[in-house]
Amino acid sequence: MTTRILVIEDNPANMELMTYLLNAYGYSLLTATDGESGLAVAAREQPDLIICDVHLPQLDGYGVIRVLRRTEALRGIPAIAVTALAMVGDREKLIDAGFDGYISKPIEPETFVAEINRFLPAKKEAVADAPPAALLVICDNVAHRALLASRLARWKTVWAASLEEAIGLAHSHALDLALVDLDMPMDECSRGIAQARADRTFASLPLIIFGPLPTTMEHSGIARFLQRTVEPDVLADEIETCLHQNKRRQDGDHIDR
Ligand code: MN
């Protein structure tokens, strides 16, 4: 969702410049030309940020911030004062009153948006809100399990000790990827995986397999093969790449339908 900024400003030239700059950077704008109507817009629209002139008709910037900070539903919205006041101590007065920051007039087009960005909550980044991916880890060795657990801490993990168990878990859990680390000869392991992939739910998961590349799966395109001793960063990169590719594939599926 687009970040919404409310600008409360009675000077038409300043209003025009600020709205022009913010629009140019892709923000969605709400405007008001006096304190009272600014508060009404804030209450109705719940903007992500408020930019407020200090000298305003009806209710000035100090009056606006007093109401904002006293009102439960509006208290959390960051607010920045815009003012030509340049006297020593004014900045402190504005911050004491409840403003999160201060921008002085005249507005500098080169720095204005960058200054505004500092006050926007980072939560708007969709990435930060996305839940961690769920990995199915198929591992039959206690020591390897402990090592993998420490390396996979940033993701949600579901553990299986065998491929049979993994198939069951693939049906009962929402999963994004499977990692296979089985202590068995590679040809036996690859036969097992080929059998497991007869199950469509299991087969829909991208695979990362620890071990040398077995000739039987060389060009299958179904999996990535990593050495067990791979660096944690490399492992993390491989996982993220697999997840990303799979997501793109799924999004593509949706478009095709
Ligand atoms: Mn003014």
Q: State in Å: Cα 57 to ligand 1 middle.
A: 8
31 within 8 A of 15, measured Cβ to Cβ? yes
Q: State in Å: Cα 73 to ligand 1 middle.
A: 26
Q: State in Å: Cα 112 to ligand 1 middle.
A: 17
Paired strand residues for 81: 52, 102
Distance CA 113, CA 22 (A): 7
Q: State in Å: Cα 236 to ligand 1 middle.
A: 52
Q: What is the mean pLDDT of residues 20-26?
A: 87
For the question of whether the overall pTM of this predicted structure is more than 0.75, the answer is no
> Higher-confidence residue: 100 or 241?
100
Q: State in Å: Cα 79 to ligand 1 middle.
A: 16
- Residue 84 neighbours by CB under 8 Å, 6+ apart: 55, 104, 105, 106
Comparing 35-49, 66-80, 123-137, 161-175, which segment has the lowest mean pLDDT?
123-137
What does each C-alpha distance from 91 to 60, 80, 87, 184, 233 come to in angstroms? Answer: 16, 11, 8, 69, 45
Q: What are 175-218's pLDDT values in tens digits?
A: 999 999 988 887 888 888 889 989 999 988 988 888 765 555 54
Residue 59 banded pLDDT, cuts 50, 70, 90: very high
> Higher-confidence residue: 84 or 48?
48
Q: What radius of gyration, in Å, describes the C-alpha atoms of the chain?
A: 28
107 within 8 A of 17, measured Cβ to Cβ? yes
Instruction: Kindly give the residue spans of alpha helices, DSSP state H, lying in the chain.
Output: 12-24, 35-45, 61-70, 90-97, 112-117, 126-129, 142-151, 163-172, 186-196, 200-203, 232-256
| pLDDT score for 257 | 42
How much is the mean pLDDT over the chain? Answer: 85
| pLDDT score for 142 | 85
Q: State in Å: Cα 80 to ligand 1 middle.
A: 14
Q: What is the mean pLDDT of residues 87-110?
A: 87
Distance CA 31, CA 5 (A): 8
Burial of 171: CB neighbours in 10 Å, binned 0-12, 13-18, 19+: exposed
Strands 177-181, 223-226: pairing kind: unpaired
Instruction: Kindly tell me if the per-residue pLDDT of 125 is higher than 50.
Output: no
Q: State in Å: Cα 55 to ligand 1 middle.
A: 4
| pLDDT score for 24 | 84
Q: State in Å: Cα 24 to ligand 1 middle.
A: 23
Q: What is the mean pLDDT of residues 122-134?
A: 59
Q: What are 151-164's pLDDT values in tens digits?
A: 888 889 999 999 99
Q: State in Å: Cα 10 to ligand 1 middle.
A: 5
Of 32, 39, 41, the C-alpha closest to 8 is 32
Q: State in Å: Cα 82 to ligand 1 middle.
A: 9
Q: What is the mean pLDDT of residues 36-54?
A: 96
Q: State in Å: Cα 15 to ligand 1 middle.
A: 10
Of 157, 178, 186, the C-alpha closest to 239 is 178
Residue 244 banded pLDDT, cuts 50, 70, 90: confident
Strands 207-210, 156-160: pairing kind: unpaired
Residue given tokens 């390897």 in the structure block: 144
Q: State in Å: Cα 52 to ligand 1 middle.
A: 9
Q: State in Å: Cα 232 to ligand 1 middle.
A: 56
Residue 124 banded pLDDT, cuts 50, 70, 90: very low
Instruction: Kindly tell me if the per-residue pLDDT of 85 is higher than 80.
Output: no
Paired strand residues for 138: 160, 180
What does each C-alpha distance from 218 to 13, 176, 213, 226, 238 come to in angstroms? Answer: 67, 23, 7, 13, 18
63 within 8 A of 98, measured Cβ to Cβ? no
Q: State in Å: Cα 51 to ligand 1 middle.
A: 12
Q: State in Å: Cα 11 to ligand 1 middle.
A: 5
Distance CA 73, CA 257 (A): 42
Q: State in Å: Cα 117 to ligand 1 middle.
A: 22
Instruction: Kindly tell me if the per-residue pLDDT of 44 is higher than 70.
Output: yes
Measured in whole angstroms, the distance separating CA 214 from the mean position of its chain's CA atoms is 38
Residue 130 banded pLDDT, cuts 50, 70, 90: low
Q: State in Å: Cα 61 to ligand 1 middle.
A: 9
